[in-house]
Amino acid sequence: MPDVGWLSSAHRVPSPNCDERPAGETIRLVVIHAISLPPNEFGGPGIIQMFTNCLDPEAHPYFREVRDLRVSSHFLIRRDGELIQFVACSRRAWHAGVSNWRGQENCNNFSIGIELEGCDQLPFEDAQYMILDRLLAELRQRYAIEAVVGHSDIAAGRKTDPGPCFDWHRVRDAGR
């Protein structure tokens, strides 16, 4: 069986936190997120462990608060530009939660989630923007992407990411 929806340019770390998209649903939205685990710390194994349900609640006090979450994203772009894929684009990753875009609920059904290792208080790295542009170009070649939005755009009042330090002007053709 072919690897439908997996990108050869990404390091593959499969997450169990995904399922099938609804029948007839097409990918038309990209949602940009920011994540750091523990909060405001970068480079550790926390994000990968969370997305693969292996987070040790004793490794950091914050991990106890989020240990029962079952979340994922299609992609993660680390601070150094490393691209990791957790879920095939053909499947639904659990990244958006309660969400709405142009009157359509449950954005997970028709979107691809991209996490950037980051937080609201610090700028993102040049390497992240470079890889994000390449990834968006590849996704646009494969899918009829109508817009690239932030998590805060589809979950207003509930989420702030990718946050005030994310420079939308650096994202080529964001389509916001």
**How many residues make up the chain in this entry?**
176
DSSP state of 109: G
Task: Give the span between the Cα atoms of 114 and 73, in whole angstroms.
Answer: 6
Q: Which tokens belong to 34?
A: 């920011």
**Please, which residues bridge with residue 35 across strands?**
117
Task: Give the span between the Cα atoms of 64 and 82, in whole angstroms.
Answer: 27
Task: Give the span between the Cα atoms of 71 and 49, in whole angstroms.
Answer: 11
DSSP state of 159: -
Residues 6+ apart with CB under 8 A from 58: 64
Q: Is 115 a catalytic residue?
A: yes
Q: Which tokens belong to 70?
A: 């079952």
Phi and psi torsions of 20, nearest 5°:
-75, 145
Determine which one of 58, 65, 115, 146 is catalytic.
Answer: 115
Catalytic residues: 115
